[in-house]
Amino acid sequence: MADPVKILLVEDESDLAKLIASYLKGFDVKVAHQLEKAGRLMQENQFDLIITDVRLKEESGLSLVRDLRGQKRTCPIILISGYDKDIMPITALMEGAFTFLEKPFQKNDVIDAVRVALRGRLDLKVS
């Protein structure tokens, strides 16, 4: 049996974090509400995918993307945001994110983005 896919979800809004995590049943999802906790979790775990909000109170998910790419980590990263809808998707991809999800999104948007990001890693059977 293969190890479960590990996903790090970085989202400061606890209700939204719970909702997204509920979409990802069957995965080993760890939630961080701050970049500091995300950093600790990344030291303790090898994640297959990271999903992060761009705006995290006084922090930025983009800085997480920059840090990971600077460390030559190749884990796919999905950025989510409801701000700067014209510029943010381009900025996210230029910084090294795998893809960008615009808020509000639906369950299928998240599942489809995860499926594509993890292609080759698993045969997703998500309900």
The tally of domains found in the chain comes to 1
- Could you tell me the CATH number of the domain that includes residue 15? 3.40.50.2300
Q: Is residue 124 in a domain? A: no
Residue 52, in any domain of the structure: yes
Whether 79 and 101 have beta carbons less than 8 Å apart is answered as: yes
Structure confidence at residue 127 (pLDDT): 39
First to last CA, the chain: 20
Residue with tokens 């293969």: 2
Do the domain assignments include residue 126?
A: no
**50 domain residue, yes or no:** yes
DSSP string, 14-33: HHHHHHHHHHTTTSEEEEES
Across the chain, which has 127 residues, the per-10-residue mean pLDDT values are: 86 96 95 95 95 89 86 90 71 81 94 90 49
Task: Give residue 64's domain range.
Answer: 6-117
What integer pLDDT is reported at residue 87 of this predicted model? Answer: 66
Q: Two tokens at 53?
A: 């909000």
58, part of any domain: yes
**What is the structure's pLDDT at 125?**
44
